[in-house]
Amino acid sequence: MAADPRQAPATPPQDDPARELPQDELAALDAHWRAANYLSVGQIYLMANPLLTEPLRPEHVKPRLLGHWGTSPGLNLVHTHLNRVIRARDLDAVCVWGPGHGGPAVLANSWLEGSYTEVYPDVTRDAAGMALLFRQFSFPGGVPSHVAPQTPGSIHEGGELGYALSHAYGAAFDNPGLLVTCVIGDGEAETGPLAASWHSNKFLDPVNDGAVLPILHLNGYKIANPAVLARLPEAELDALLRGYGHEPLHVTGDDPEAVHRAMAHALDTALDRIAALQDAARTGGATDRPRWPMIVLRTPKGWTGPAEVDGLPVEGTWRAHQVPLSGVREDPEHLRLLEGWLRSYRPEELFDEYGAPRAAVRALLPEGRRRLGANPHANGGLLLRSLPLPPLERHAVPVDKPGSSLHEPTRVLGALLSDVMEATAGRRDFRLVGPDETASNRLEAVYARTGKAWQAETLGTDEHLDRHGRVMEILSEHTCQGWLEGYLLTGRHGLFSCYEAFAHIVDSMVNQHVKWLRTTRGLPWRAPVASLNYLLTSHVWRQDHNGFSHQDPGFVDHVLNKSPEAVRVYLPPDANTLLAVADHVLRSRDYVNVVVAGKQPCFDWLSPEQARAHCARGAGLWEWAGTEDGTRAPDVVLACAGDVPTQEVLAAAQLLRRHLPSLAVRVVNVVDLARLLPAEEHPHGMSDFEYDGLFTTDRPVIFAYHGYPWLIHRLAYRRAGHPHLHVRGYKEIGTTTTPFDMVVGNDMDRYRLVMDVIDRVPGLAVRAAAVRRTMEDARLRHHAWIREHGTDLPEVADWTWDG
């Protein structure tokens, strides 16, 4: 046992004698815990002799020892105790395993309760299945060492740390009957995303949402260091957790029996309190913010493992983090220690001669869908209903003629979302999340149907705060993302609206979510979930208030590096195309969809029917905007993707029509960026036949793109016409200035595009030299005007399409 002086005796069961744990339950808890520990160690080490029916020999041990033992006994303890209360109270519960490196633990528990065999029939609940369970772990072609999509009952990949608690809250929202337990490791607790997510309890509605029970597991160490929270005096930690709005229950110890008693008591106390708080809000009409209980569980890292190896303490220290005995195949002493460790769990008491868990181990297991590995909320696609979406025509803006009216696209989208909010008022399976930007992003029509979730104090001057609201705003992109992921993975729908530049804050989170989706596509038992939809607005070209720090269009680049089967990027150029794209992404499954759209007034280019057809194609020719006559190939293709580039391209087309009327100009608009990829690289990729037909193979293509120009090259470099492709876009020239000055600064303005055409169409340089000078003059005029007036040139500010 660890010599950690902090390991005071476990909190004794308190006064209530009814709370005394019956001896048979104690025995069953301990048997189950020992079985789970045995199976965890077995997964890390063994490839044969799973029941130790013969003395352990080197060849029974895997050649590569991979995995994380340190956190596993703690997770096993939690799972074992959750089984007891789920069964005793018939709870509908899931658990988010934050210290997900402890994959062996959750796999062991799933195998013990039978849920593992149900989805992986080869891994039977007997000796043969146990052998397979052990062998496959961290083995090539086998299963990951973490709690992962492959793990039954999981909605949370335990690799990258920080998101456990926000995932748990996401799962609890709008699931009033659900208990979401969440184990938070003391390592993970140091991360920013986790630290922020404690305040999620100010957004949890005790009436319409389920409960979240955080279990902060302090085993004291990370990879090589003590954990900060584990080294706070208990009073200081207690103050912190009360400051987070919780009532902590402390369970501390290293004596299994005492910890079992204390843990059972703490869980019962917590669940009673949760029930009372929910009852007070649901039937008692209480409206004060509940102080939800939580558990602080302090047990040694690598508990029950080797106390000392090679003369150094292991149990209770960071040395227990991964594989405590590393030389088992070579070192007889290590082999001996491993065998002793495994036998210390008394496997013969736990498994019968066929390798099946004995009745004592199974005594407290829940049944059917109540098992943590079989709860359908953790395979949320099973519960997913189609989102009721209004007909697009209801909110589409009328467009008789391109460019004759202006709308703020996101405001138009807000009306559609308002309908969705109304249609889901009873079902409560749609939420809008964002970092305090719903109104700023002009989606505030939703407030007619629902308010902003808020359980903290409300003042008379507040607006739209709503104890039962389904708009989620907190100034933490991490928390927003975590909430939404948890909500989607438990079978609901949502949209994340975010300033474009700050989507990068969740780059690493979207990585993990895409990896999750990619992996689940290979798991037939995982039902598809609703896509994670981003609306990136307040984008790079319109940061009038904020300037350079708020200018970054690179989230799209980041997402397009990920598994193509799971990512989609859309740049609708106006209000109706935004509606069409939104309709599509809100119906889709298992994708990460990134939609980039402006909130500023924007010309309406396409009618609803045109918009729908254009978005279905993803990229298309805008005949009305060009000057082709159909008798010959165009002289030049002007391509655009994004609202601001589209406006500049149309303005350039208009200038060309006026100044060079004999030039055959084709205008192509791209909504679905992946269309540019080869068909074999992305499911949306165009065939070369389509691409060449649209862009030609030999004419100059001047492409105005919303973001970093080289992204277009990266997508299109295999095309025959690539040598003729010239892309304009954002090249990190940013400041606080006017919208048109931004495009001039980045060489994407209409005048520059016309100059590009003149420079690249063979023979035009001489013939159109005067036009080129006119364009240069316009840019000079712009520079002079803006420094003087601080506004855009009237000819630009008042520009309209005259096509």
Q: Of 471-490, which residues contact its own copies (CB under 8 A)?
A: 473-479
Residue nearer to its own copies on the CB measure, 467 or 562: 562
* Region binding its own copies by CB under 8 A among candidate stretches 65-73, 172-180, 399-407, 588-596: 65-73
Residue nearer to its own copies on the CB measure, 3 or 780: 3
- 187 near its own copies (CB under 8 A): yes
Residue nearer to its own copies on the CB measure, 62 or 684: 62
Number of shown-chain residues binding its own copies (CB under 8 A): 132
Site for its own copies in 385-444 (CB under 8 A): 436-440
Measuring CA to CA, which residue among 744, 772, 745, 770 is closest to residue 757? 772
SS3 500: coil
Residue nearer to its own copies on the CB measure, 281 or 711: 711
* Region binding its own copies by CB under 8 A among candidate stretches 15-23, 35-43, 52-60, 222-230: 222-230
CB atoms within 10 A of CB 544: 13
- 698 near its own copies (CB under 8 A): no
* Region binding its own copies by CB under 8 A among candidate stretches 71-79, 114-122, 506-514, 668-676: 506-514
As given in the structure block, the two tokens for residue 641 are 């993707």
Quote the least distance from Cβ 263 to its own copies, whole Å. Answer: 24
Scan for tokens 């046992």, then name that residue.
1
- 19 near its own copies (CB under 8 A): no
How would DSSP label each residue in 573-641? -SHHHHHHHHHHHHH-BS-EEEEE---S-EE--S-HHHHHHHHHHSEEE-GGGS---SSS--SEEEEEE
- 467 near its own copies (CB under 8 A): no
751: left (phi over 0), alpha (psi -120 to 50) or beta: alpha
Site for its own copies in 278-317 (CB under 8 A): 313, 316-317
Residue nearer to its own copies on the CB measure, 94 or 227: 227
Distance of CA 265 to the CA centre of its chain: 35
As given in the structure block, the two tokens for residue 367 are 């049944």
Site for its own copies in 699-728 (CB under 8 A): 708, 710-711, 713-714, 717, 722
- 228 near its own copies (CB under 8 A): yes
Site for its own copies in 559-598 (CB under 8 A): 561-563
As given in the structure block, the two tokens for residue 296 are 């602080």
Distance CA 183, CA 201 (A): 16
- 737 near its own copies (CB under 8 A): yes
* Region binding its own copies by CB under 8 A among candidate stretches 53-61, 498-506, 591-599, 634-642: 498-506
Residue nearer to its own copies on the CB measure, 244 or 591: 244
* Region binding its own copies by CB under 8 A among candidate stretches 218-226, 367-375, 636-644, 749-757: 218-226
Residue nearer to its own copies on the CB measure, 288 or 349: 288
What sign does the dihedral 624-626-632-634 (CA atoms) show? negative
State how beta strands 532-537 and 592-596 pair.
parallel
Instruction: Find the farthest-apart pair of alpha carbons in the chain and give their distance in angstroms, rounded.
Output: 99
- Using CA atoms, how far residue 468 sits from 481, 493, 499, 625, in Å, is 20, 17, 25, 48
SS3 560: helix
Q: In this chain, which of 14, 386, 735, 800 binds its own copies, going by CB under 8 A?
A: 735
What is the contact mask toward its own copies in residues 739 to 778, using x (rule: CB under 8 A)? Answer: --x-------------------------------------
**Within the chain, how many helices (H) and strands (E) appear?**
26, 22
Q: In this chain, which of 54, 55, 64, 762 binds its own copies, going by CB under 8 A?
A: 64
Residue nearer to its own copies on the CB measure, 190 or 331: 190
Name the phi and psi angles at 509, rounded to 5: -70, -40
CB 727 within 8 A of CB 700: no
Site for its own copies in 82-141 (CB under 8 A): 101, 138-141
Residue nearer to its own copies on the CB measure, 55 or 140: 140
- 549 near its own copies (CB under 8 A): yes
- Dihedral Cα 505, 511, 512, 516, nearest 10 deg: 140
Residues forming beta bridges with residue 296, ordered by sequence position: 216, 250
Distance CA 345, CA 710 (A): 59
Residue nearer to its own copies on the CB measure, 546 or 774: 546
- 459 near its own copies (CB under 8 A): yes
Q: In this chain, which of 32, 62, 217, 265 binds its own copies, going by CB under 8 A?
A: 62
Distance CA 499, CA 440 (A): 10
CB 346 within 8 A of CB 60: no
Residue nearer to its own copies on the CB measure, 149 or 347: 149
- 697 near its own copies (CB under 8 A): no
